[in-house]
Amino acid sequence: MVKWKEIAKFAAGLTLWESIVHASLELGDLLPLNILGFTLTRTINTIQIILPLIISVLLAYYAWIRK
């Protein structure tokens, strides 16, 4: 049986980690960053901070708070 709340806990941690990594790129003044022909700009990086953070909060709510 699939335990969806356990999967949500894992995904919440994963998306929070992604947000933290992108925040460190911003704070470390490493942007713009070219990886394999793709340029990570400040705008794209800001989206990559905010969107995973929102998703992480929603997943954490589902996994730990919602009954």
- Which tens digit of pLDDT belongs to each residue from 7-65? 999 999 999 999 999 999 999 999 999 999 999 999 999 999 999 999 999 999 999 99
Q: Could you tell me the residue range of the domain that residue 36 belongs to?
A: 4-65
Q: Distance between CA atoms of 66 and 5, rounded to whole angstroms?
A: 10
Locate tokens 């704070």: which residue?
A: 27
Q: Distance between CA atoms of 22 and 45, rounded to whole angstroms?
A: 6
Here the tokens at position 63 are 């996994």
Q: What is the pLDDT of residue 25?
A: 96
For the chain, how many structural domains are there in total?
Answer: 1
Q: What is the pLDDT of residue 34?
A: 95
Q: Distance between CA atoms of 24 and 9, rounded to whole angstroms?
A: 23
Q: Is the pTM of this model over 0.85?
A: yes
Q: What is the pLDDT of residue 67?
A: 82
Q: What is the pLDDT of residue 14?
A: 98
